[in-house]
């Protein structure tokens, strides 16, 4: 995609990292990782996406080229003195549960997400899982976005509840996993969790259940979305970010926000995430064509009866 012609439909804020990942079958080091590395490529199949993140001076040039090969706008990507965020994890033999070996925040620890001028009027904004105060900082720079989704995690629910409540009150959609939804609301039943969260502000709540799919709640009811079943999971890292990125991209492509378009965009999220887990890092997305995505969408529609 030519730089000049690039229009920023979706701005995504999050982390960029270098990952060491071990599965029962294979160990890989120095992989491209972080939520942005999954979400932006996934969005880019559908719409022009820009990433707001930070890398260190050790960030490999080949990964920069990889971002560009997806047509991602990099004006919001900062290069800071120091080392890139690093994460290392080991997956159980179920390929679902994992344990973190180490996390080094490095340059991500002092990251402040600033939107370039060209991003401020982007209609779709995805606030990846960073501190609620930084999510609010991003929101303060945006000019009347059409749709804002935010992700969060247990750390912020436990340590930054006041800012988090402000984020939740300001966004159109909150995404979080089932245990986080229970922690945030103090309720066990997931349907009741979504009802509590909607009272806090967002019109849409997505509960992510990993290999069991996701549940969307909105004012007109629930939508139960299965995960697309794949033959072999090579590396589940980034599935949720890929899901969210493709969702935002497809929604931006449709440009219309309604219960129907949200549902359809979530199905695209499920499909792109299924390609993501079939390779390490973003390998499963590299050679992916829109046709491949559409074929699985047709199959998913059939599987959902």
x/- mask, a copy of itself, residues 221-250, rule CB under 8 A, reads xxxxxx--xxxxx-----------------
Under the binding rule (CB under 8 A), the answer on residue 289 touching a copy of itself is no
Does 186 contact a copy of itself by CB under 8 A?
no
Q: Quick one: which segment of 49-57, 118-126, 207-215, 242-250 binds a copy of itself (CB under 8 A)?
A: 207-215
Structure tokens at 182: 């229970």
> What is the spatial distance between Cα 163 and Cα 142, in angstroms, rounded to a whole number?
18
Q: How far is the CB of 267 from a copy of itself (least distance, A)?
A: 8
Nearest residue (CB) to a copy of itself, 16 versus 21: 21
Q: Is residue 154 near a copy of itself by the rule CB under 8 A?
A: no
Query: To 5 degrees, how large is the angle CA 85–CA 138–CA 72?
Result: 60
Per the structure block, which two tokens stand in for 241? 């970010």
Give the one residue of 131, 141, 170, 192 binding a copy of itself; rule: CB under 8 A: 192
| Shortest distance in whole angstroms from residue 275 CB to a copy of itself | 15
Q: Does 66 bind a copy of itself (CB under 8 A)?
A: no
Residue 299 contacts a copy of itself per CB under 8 A: yes
Q: Which of 44, 107, 39, 45 is nearest to 73 (CA)?
A: 44
Residue 286 interacts with a copy of itself (CB under 8 A)? no
Contacts (Cβ under 8 Å, ≥6 apart) of 289: none
Minimum Å distance from CB 148 to a copy of itself? Answer: 24
Distance CA(1)–CA(9), nearest Å, equals 14
Q: Among 19, 188, 203, which Cα is nearest to 108's? A: 19
Confirm or reject binding of residue 160 to a copy of itself (CB under 8 A): no
- Residues 102-141: x where in contact with a copy of itself by CB under 8 A, - otherwise, as a string: ----------------------------------------
- Cβ closer to a copy of itself: 101 or 304? 304
Say which residues have a Cβ less than 8 Å from residue 160's Cβ, sequence separation at least 6: 131, 132, 133
Q: Does 219 bind a copy of itself (CB under 8 A)?
A: no
Instruction: Return all residues near 99 (Cβ < 8 A) that are at least 6 apart.
Output: 89, 90, 92
The answer to whether 255 contacts a copy of itself (rule: CB under 8 A) is no
Q: Compute how many other C-beta atoms are within 10 angstroms of the C-beta atom of residue 48.
A: 21
**Strands 124-127 and 10-13: what pairing?**
parallel
Q: How far apart are CA 274 and CA 98, in angstroms?
A: 18
Residues that bind a copy of itself (CB under 8 A): 93-95, 188-192, 209, 212-213, 215, 221-226, 229-233, 263, 267, 299, 302-305
């Amino acid at each position: 995609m030519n730089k000049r012609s690039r229009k920023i439909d979706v701005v995504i804020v999050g982390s960029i990292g270098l990952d060491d990942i071990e599965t029962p079958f294979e160990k890989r080091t120095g992989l491209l990782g972080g939520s942005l590395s999954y979400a932006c490529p996934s969005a880019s199949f559908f719409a022009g996406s820009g990433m707001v993140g930070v890398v260190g001076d050790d960030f490999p040039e080949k990964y920069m080229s990889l971002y560009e090969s997806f047509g991602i706008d990099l004006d919001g990507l900062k290069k800071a003195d120091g080392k890139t965020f690093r994460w290392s994890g080991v997956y159980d033999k179920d390929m679902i549960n994992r344990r973190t070996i180490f996390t080094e925040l490095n340059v991500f620890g002092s990251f402040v997400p600033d939107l370039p001028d060209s991003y401020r009027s982007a209609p779709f904004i995805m606030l990846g899982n960073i501190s609620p105060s930084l999510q609010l900082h991003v929101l303060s720079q945006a000019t009347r976005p059409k749709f804002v989704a935010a992700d969060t995690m247990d750390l912020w629910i436990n340590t930054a509840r006041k800012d988090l409540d402000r984020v939740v009150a300001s966004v159109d959609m909150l995404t979080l996993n089932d245990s986080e939804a229970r922690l945030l609301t103090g309720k066990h039943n997931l349907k009741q969790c979504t009802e509590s969260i909607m009272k806090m502000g967002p019109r849409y709540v997505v509960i992510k259940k990993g290999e069991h799919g996701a549940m969307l709640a909105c004012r007109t009811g629930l939508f139960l979305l299965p995960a697309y079943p794949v033959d072999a999971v090579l590396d589940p890292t980034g599935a949720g970010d890929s899901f969210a990125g493709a969702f935002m991209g497809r929604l931006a492509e449709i440009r219309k926000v309604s219960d129907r378009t949200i549902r359809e965009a979530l199905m695209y999220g499920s499909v792109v995430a299924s390609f993501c887990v079939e390779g390490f890092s973003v390998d499963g997305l590299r050679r992916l064509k829109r046709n491949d995505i559409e074929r699985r969408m047709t199959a998913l529609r059939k599987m959902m009866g």
